[in-house]
Amino acid sequence: MNIKTGFLTSLFALTLTISSVQAKEVDITLLLISDIYRMQSEDGRGGFSKAATVARSERKRNEHLLYIHAGDTISPSLMSGIDKGAHVIELLNIVPPDIFVPGNHEFDFGPERFEELILEKLDSKILSANLRDGQGRRRAGIDDSQIFDFDGVKVGVYGLLTPGAEVLSSPGPDYSFLPLVRTALDTAQGLKEQGADIIVAVAHTSFAEDERLLAEAGDAMDILLSGDDHDLRLEFDGRTVFAETRSDAEYMVAIDLAVDVEEKDDKRKVNWWPNFRIIDTADHPVDPETEALAQTYQAQIATEMDKTIGSTATSMDTRRVIVRTQESAFGNLLTDAMRAFFDTDIAIANGGGIRAGKEYPAGSDLTRRDIFEELPFGNTLVGLRVSGENLLKALENGVSQVENSAGRFPHVSGITMDVDPSMPAGERIMNVKVDGKPLDKSALYSVATNEYMGRGGDGYDALATGEMIFDGDDSDLIASILIQFIRTNTPVTPRVEGRINMIKAN
């Protein structure tokens, strides 16, 4: 072989070697939103109009975008109490998310309304791998997962919804829930078999459930995007990403994935690295189209909602840290109104149903808007006849997760009790008195509560054992009952007065 021939042969072999190796880089963006209820911005931040602007901007920035909604939007809000969430779908559909994973609040108005709004009208792909119908079958309109192809990079996405939605909301017997960890592992395996390069789990789950998924199903996700807790969180251990965004689109999270793909000798290797951007929506203008629609809705409710209905001569505080952990003046006002409506022995309301998170100084005027923002769920009042034994069980349930600021915390009227949070759940309540007399476990008591708790919601199964003596047809929206109570008794004078005595550890 002469030198020239040898050179050409070597060059040909090198060309073959180079041509057998193909490498490319692909940039993919995941944009996360969740728990958005508010139409308008507050202090220039948040609301549907700001979220729409960010989504439009991100889509222009990178065509390889997945705009993902991790659930909770149909309820609760002021307008949802009027139209049962219809306005939310219209607002979202202006710049619809690519993926929507239902949250527990999507079922607040029952399974039929969930299907009408989310499954039939929302212009998004609905994913929830562990949500099934009442017979454990897949529900038409809800897929377990979806693979998205971005220039050859396959991103597999699946959804999860906390099984706690069964008691946190009202899916009824029409829906059932598969276990989170097992479902995650099985669904991810299926996506891998379909060739997914990157697996994204989108979960509407509590932070405790998120931690369990990461600990027990870490192989089932490269990225876990979560909703439900309303807090901004970002974690990355070099292997798995965890992100949760702030509620009401005050802050949105964008994760830019730099993906390297190398194919050599029929073998494929994919490496990726995340870059995080926390998007403060205060830095963005409102989306004109979304804002115009939002203003139309605001105008519909402004006239009636902003009228003064009365005033409070004492201060009230409805912040989450108060109404989910201790007796509150507003909780006392609410339950007094509930008890007076049916003239029952007792009234009980869950702190999670009080939502505005506001402080009212003494002398504040109160409007319909204030009350509907505080009580946005559209619950009617029911009356039950409950044994003392089951009443005690219901109260124990109410304080069973006080250390977690759970929404089941009870506000009461007609009853007093001592609570020791240091004791085990189920053994925390002592010295219960009804109308000043010790609770009689064998006696029957009339109890006013919201329809949600009356059918066992928030873990109040003990209330559901009671005899229904007044149903929702006998009453009105609890918000309307409270409005009338304030009008009749203005100025109201609610105070913290020792109905619930929280025993502090030494």
Beta carbons of 469 and 383 less than 8 angstroms apart: yes
Segments making up each domain of the chain, as ranges: 21-295, 306-502
Distance between CA atoms of 279 and 284, rounded to whole angstroms? Answer: 9
Count Cα atoms within 13 angstroms, Cβ side, for 255: 26
Of residues 230 and 482, more confidently modeled: 482
Q: What is the pLDDT at residue 12? A: 45
φ and ψ at residue 334, rounded to 5 degrees: -60, -50
CA angle 152, 157, 162 (to 5 degrees): 175
The identity of residue 40, as a single letter, is Q
Number of Cβ atoms within 10 Å of the Cβ of 82: 18
Beta carbons of 255 and 29 less than 8 angstroms apart: yes
Q: Which residues contact 342 (CB under 8 A, 6 or more apart)?
A: 381, 383, 446, 448, 470, 474, 475
- Name beta bridge partners: 100: 69, 126
CA angle 69, 71, 73 (to 5 degrees): 100
Beta carbons of 350 and 397 less than 8 angstroms apart: no
Q: CATH topology for 21-295?
A: Purple Acid Phosphatase; chain A, domain 2 (3.60.21)
> What average pLDDT does range 391-406 have in this prediction?
97
Beta-sheet pairing, 444-450 with 381-387: antiparallel
Hunting for tokens 């070597």 — which residue is that?
10
CA 480 to chain CA mean position, Å: 25
Number of Cβ atoms within 10 Å of the Cβ of 123: 13
What mean pLDDT value characterizes the chain? 93
The identity of residue 210, as a single letter, is D
End-to-end CA distance of the chain: 94
Q: What is the pLDDT at residue 8? A: 44
**SS3 state at 304:** helix
Q: What tokens were used for 385?
A: 């006849």
Beta carbons of 47 and 77 less than 8 angstroms apart: no
Least confident of 166-170, 200-204, 228-232: 166-170
Q: Which residues contact 89 (CB under 8 A, 6 or more apart)?
A: 117, 118, 121, 122
Report the percentage of the chain scoring pLDDT > 70. 95
Give per-residue pLDDT as tens, 27-41.
999 999 999 998 988
Say which DSSP state 424 is in: P
Q: What is the pLDDT at residue 244? A: 97
Least confident of 400-404, 477-481, 493-497: 477-481
> What average pLDDT does range 472-497 have in this prediction?
90
Give per-residue pLDDT as tens, 343-392.
999 999 999 999 999 999 999 999 999 999 999 888 889 999 999 999 99
φ and ψ at residue 228, rounded to 5 degrees: 110, -40
Beta carbons of 378 and 81 less than 8 angstroms apart: yes
Q: Do domains 21-295 and 306-502 have the same CATH topology?
A: no
Confirm or reject CATH 1.20.1440.230 for domain 306-502, answering yes or no: no
118, containing H or E segment: none
Distance between CA atoms of 331 and 322, rounded to whole angstroms? Answer: 10
Beta carbons of 383 and 447 less than 8 angstroms apart: yes
Give per-residue pLDDT as tens, 87-142.
999 999 999 999 999 999 999 889 999 999 999 999 999 999 999 999 999 999 99
Dihedral of the alpha carbons of 421, 423, 426, 427, in degrees to the nearest 10: -110
Distance between CA atoms of 283 and 249, rounded to whole angstroms? Answer: 12
Distance between CA atoms of 115 and 87, rounded to whole angstroms? Answer: 15
pTM of the model: 0.75
Looking at the predicted structure, is the pLDDT value of residue 447 above 70? yes
Report the percentage of the chain scoring pLDDT > 90. 83
CA 47 to chain CA mean position, Å: 16
